[in-house]
């Protein structure tokens, strides 16, 4: 659809850009990465997707590739093994992008404060836009964090 607009009306790139921004705001695509969590937060993310909370009603969609994502949702305290992969994935997400640290581990290393294999928290490795507290983070908090992320994404898009 965007191709047709751009090809047929070379001068109307602005329209295509407006459509892109509208889609990004109305249907943010999310890439989730676990950097060594206990899986508690990851299960809560699934709960947020379940019919009870249903974050897809806001247009949110989990995607399997960082190249398709607008929002990078990260759980876990960032283990040394995950650090390079985390940075690699972050760099693959196109601009503008938003990073969300989900759960106490991603926010502050949580219960893994003194673990020898941990090099987080997340904002020590990559820039973070939104912090979601909780151990684990609740589905309501996850939805609120994503909503804040979309607001920031809209501002970044201009």
Write the DSSP assignment of 34-100 as a string of letters.
ESS--SHHHHHHHHHHSTTT-GGGGT-EE-S-GGG-SEEEEES--BHHHHHHHHHHHHHSPSS-EEE
- Residue 14 CA to residue 6 CA, distance in Å, equals 9
Please, which residue, 89 or 118, has the CB nearer to ligand SF4? 118
Residue 153 beta carbon to ligand SF4: minimum distance, rounded to whole angstroms: 24
Contact in structure between 75 and 35 (CB atoms under 8 Å): yes
Strands 98-102 and 29-34: unpaired
Residue 21 beta carbon to ligand SF4: minimum distance, rounded to whole angstroms: 33
- Residue 150 CA to residue 119 CA, distance in Å, equals 28
Please, which residue, 104 or 153, has the CB nearer to ligand SF4? 104
Please, which residue, 2 or 43, has the CB nearer to ligand SF4? 43
Please, which residue, 2 or 135, has the CB nearer to ligand SF4? 135
What are the residues binding ligand SF4 (CB under 6 A)?
37-38, 40-41, 75-76, 103-105, 110-111, 135-136
DSSP classification of residue 113: T
Residue 67 beta carbon to ligand SF4: minimum distance, rounded to whole angstroms: 26
Residue 135 beta carbon to ligand SF4: minimum distance, rounded to whole angstroms: 3
């Amino acid at each position: 659809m965007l191709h047709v607009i751009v090809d047929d009306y070379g001068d109307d790139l602005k329209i295509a850009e407006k459509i892109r921004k509208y889609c990004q705001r109305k249907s943010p695509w999310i890439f989730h990465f676990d950097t060594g969590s206990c899986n508690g937060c990851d299960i809560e993310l699934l709960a947020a997707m379940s019919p009870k909370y249903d974050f897809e009603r806001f247009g949110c969609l989990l995607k399997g590739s960082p190249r398709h994502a607008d929002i990078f949702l990260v759980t876990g305290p960032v283990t040394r093994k995950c650090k390079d992969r985390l940075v690699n994935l972050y760099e693959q997400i196109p601009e503008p992008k938003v990073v969300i640290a989900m759960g106490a581990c991603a926010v502050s290393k949580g219960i893994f404060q003194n673990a020898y294999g941990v090099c987080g928290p997340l904002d020590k490795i990559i820039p973070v836009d939104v912090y979601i507290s909780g151990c684990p983070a609740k589905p309501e908090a996850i939805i609120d964090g994503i909503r804040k992320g979309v607001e920031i994404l809209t501002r970044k898009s201009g």
